[in-house]
């Protein structure tokens, strides 16, 4: 049953102040990188950083904060999002590049996000700081078309080399497209 007392004005966006960091690592990132924004996501600290400082943030986490592992890197395409959460102080772009870091010695996790515009879908590689990101960045490039500048071998990893476009971008209407993946012995 709908709420008869609900008003549209209750859903209007208001300009709120950014949250103060409740995490020491997030506070250190905010101090070290101007323009960074903290957000708490279900108890996990999340820091939105400028795209230009993406690589430096990873270096800082590894060298200054003892974050010895980057667990993964992925991309989110917000092209078709009708409603999107974006904390105050973050200018939303079409793509978000997301990386999750962990420090076993400190028993801590932190998620770092940078906004990437569709007109210039590039961000620095983390593969030189965290070698395990080599294949994750290749997959993000292959599926979303985000170019990781400085990557040692940014080539397709899943799609055939002659495939045009990026299958996880929301540029095309949903449909069943027959795809032959790289190395597939029996094309369908």
From its phi and psi, is residue 150 left (phi > 0), alpha (psi between -120 and 50) or beta? Answer: left
pLDDT score recorded for residue 188: 52
pLDDT score recorded for residue 9: 40
8-state DSSP, 21:
P
- Displacement of CA 63 from its chain's centroid (Å): 21
pLDDT score recorded for residue 15: 54
pLDDT score recorded for residue 182: 72
pLDDT score recorded for residue 19: 62
pLDDT score recorded for residue 7: 42
Structure tokens, 116: 């990437």
Residues with pLDDT less than 70, the chain: 1-19, 172-180, 184-188
């Amino acid at each position: 049953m709908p709420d008869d007392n609900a008003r549209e004005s209750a859903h209007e966006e208001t300009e709120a102040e950014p949250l103060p960091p409740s995490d020491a690592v997030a506070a250190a990132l905010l101090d070290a990188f101007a323009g960074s924004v903290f957000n708490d996501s279900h108890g996990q600290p999340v820091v939105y950083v400028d795209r230009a400082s993406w690589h430096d943030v990873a270096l800082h986490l590894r060298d200054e904060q003892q974050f010895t592992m980057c667990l993964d890197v992925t991309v989110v395409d917000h092209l078709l999002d009708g409603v999107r959460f974006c904390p105050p102080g973050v200018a939303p772009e079409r793509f978000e590049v997301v990386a999750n870091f962990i420090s076993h010695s400190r028993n801590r996790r932190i998620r770092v996000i940078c906004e990437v515009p569709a007109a210039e879908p590039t961000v620095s590689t983390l593969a030189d700081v965290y070698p395990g990101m080599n294949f994750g960045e290749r997959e993000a490039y292959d599926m979303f078309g985000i170019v990781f500048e400085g990557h040692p071998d940014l080539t397709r990893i899943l799609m055939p080399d002659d495939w045009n476009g990026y299958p996880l971008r929301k540029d095309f209407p949903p449909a069943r497209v027959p795809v032959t993946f790289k190395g597939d012995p029996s094309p369908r």
